[in-house]
Amino acid sequence: MASTLASQVVIFPFMAQGHTLPLLDLSKALSLQQIKVSIITTPSNANSITKNIANYPFINVIEIPFPTIDGLPQGCENTSQLPSKEFFGPFLHATKQLQEPFDQVLQTMLESETPPLCVISDFFLGWTLASCQALGVPRLVFHGMGVLSMVISRSAWVHAPQLRSTSMFEPLDMPDLKPPFTLTRADLPGDLTNSPNQDDPASQFSREVMEADAHSWGVIVNSFEELEKTHIPSLESFYMDGGKAWCLGPLFLHDKSEGLEKSTAQKDSSTLTQWLNEQVKPDSVMYVSFGTQADVSDAQLDEVAFGLEESGVPFLWVVRSKTWSLPSGMEEKIKGRGLIVKEWVDQRQILSHRAIGGFLSHCGWNSVLESLSSDVPILAWPMIAEQFLNAKFIVGVLGAALGVRGSNEVFVSRQAISEAVNELMAGQKGRSARERAEAIGKVARTAVQDGGSSHDALSKLVDQLRAY
């Protein structure tokens, strides 16, 4: 069946949930347009990807072997499988060795009936530019970030040598950058300015991926024009060969069946849905999750438990920790009012449940989009990477979120958590944030419909690639 399709696109996600999931959504959006999609990944990631795309006829998964390298435990093929953050560097380094098998796969495809229109590669896999250039295939890059965060990250990277000598919390003054909020060094992704010099392996790696990025044919953005229009020209100015920014998001909304699908953890999902159904008051439950990357200490998780308990607000909390368990006596106290889950959940389905009225979130970009698309205001608690930028954007610019007081401090107290939860769910500021979230949700859903900005951009992108 697939071989009768006119066009094919190759997608190579980086092996981290937050990077892979949106590209699977893009794969689905393309397959709905009758385009064949080949997703390149490694054996241990292929399983979950295959399950995720199982109902889509035109998507296939191609496995290439993950290399064995010194300093990286065997079987670690995804950032979630790394024993700790220290292994992230060796992991990035290992992904470079995927080039040879990837080149072979691409070469074979070029000789097939449907040579690929393009390769959509995660920015971390910077070396795919060389592969694409050698074989004459346009490369589109994907970051999994919003427009503004990309613009700021790049500018910060360019100015990193000067930034290293500035203080952490004073407003930054960067000549080529006018962010719509006060920006400090503490808001920037950590390793951008912390590297000891420009020749250490992390800086070298960043330089390579940035250069590959700048020479790509364009960038795919999981955002929509209406949300970040004013920053698109700055983003595009980074592309040396006239590359365009294609705002196609929220990617997960292209597929109308999304949100109706059952989670892979069937038993769990039904317990969870049942619990949510029992919460009869609309917008009454706080959903809590800190994503798949941030490490939160056991002491801080205890404090979150106490804060949620003290708030009196019903909550559904997804905890990702191998070591933490609920403080003693807490289970009794929260019985019937709080549900704590340790497994993978279908976050989109949860957010679209009418009982959910707020999201205490680490502000990963996917979570931000998913929350706002479901009209759910956010209680922003950024932790790592570009999450501080996302938080400032949704609080200060969009007005669809409130911040947890003291978030810039390492430890957030139960009082601060409890007060902020109550303000979002029941306070005046919370009401205003909900109205803003609802307004943005409406625009997001319109963007992916026929005639909407993201829908049209996707069609235009495919047309341009076909004409290339």
Q: Which residues bind ligand UDP (CB under 6 A)?
A: 17-18, 21, 123, 143, 150, 153-154, 157, 189, 191-192, 206, 209-210, 291-293, 318, 344-348, 364-367, 370, 384-386
Residue reference for tokens 């700048």: 214
Nearest approach, Cβ of 331 to ligand UDP (angstroms)? 21
Kindly name the residue from 19, 143, 231, 353 that is annotated as catalytic: 19
**Of residues 437, 426, 315, 427, the one with CA closest to residue 376:** 437
| Active-site hit among 25, 103, 122, 375 | 122
Q: Which is nearer to ligand UDP, 311 or 367 (CB)?
A: 367
Cβ distance to ligand UDP smaller for residue 103 or 258 = 258
CB neighbour list of residue 324: distance below 8 Å, 6 or more residues apart = 298, 301, 302
Pick between residue 187 and residue 191 the one whose CB is nearest to ligand UDP: 191
Largest CA distance in the chain: 65
User: Given strand 285-289, what is the order of strands in its sheet?
Assistant: 338-341, 315-318, 285-289, 356-361, 378-380, 401-403
Q: Minimum distance between the CB of residue 263 and ligand UDP, rounded to whole angstroms?
A: 8
Q: At its nearest, how many Å lie between ligand UDP and the CB of residue 38? A: 22
| Smaller CB separation from ligand UDP, 29 or 150 | 150
To the nearest whole angstrom, how small is the minimum distance from the Cβ of residue 397 to ligand UDP? Answer: 19
CA-to-CA dists, residue 170 to 148, 185, 194, 314, 443, angstroms: 20, 7, 16, 38, 35
Distance between CA atoms of residues 460 and 454, nearest Å: 10
Please tell me the distance from the alpha carbon of residue 427 to that of residue 322, in angstroms, as a whole number.
35
Residue nearer to ligand UDP on the CB measure, 157 or 393: 157
**Shortest gap between Cβ of 408 and ligand UDP (angstroms)?**
17
What minimum distance in Å lies between the beta carbon of 276 and ligand UDP? 15
Q: Which is nearer to ligand UDP, 52 or 131 (CB)?
A: 52
Shortest separation between residue 5's beta carbon and ligand UDP, angstroms = 28
Task: Calculate helix-pair angle for 128-135, 201-214, nearest 10 degrees.
Answer: 30
CB of 34 to ligand UDP, least distance (A): 26
- Is 122 an annotated catalytic residue? yes
Find tokens 């704590």 and name the residue.
340
Whose Cβ is closer to ligand UDP: residue 44's or residue 413's?
44
What Rg value do the Cα atoms of the chain yield, rounded? Answer: 22
Closer CB to ligand UDP, residue 154 or residue 215?
A: 154
| Least spacing, CB of residue 75 vs ligand UDP, in Å | 20
Nearer Cβ to ligand UDP (7/239): 239
**338, 340, 344, 345 alpha-carbon torsion, rounded to 10°:** -10
> Which sequence positions are flagged as catalytic?
19, 122
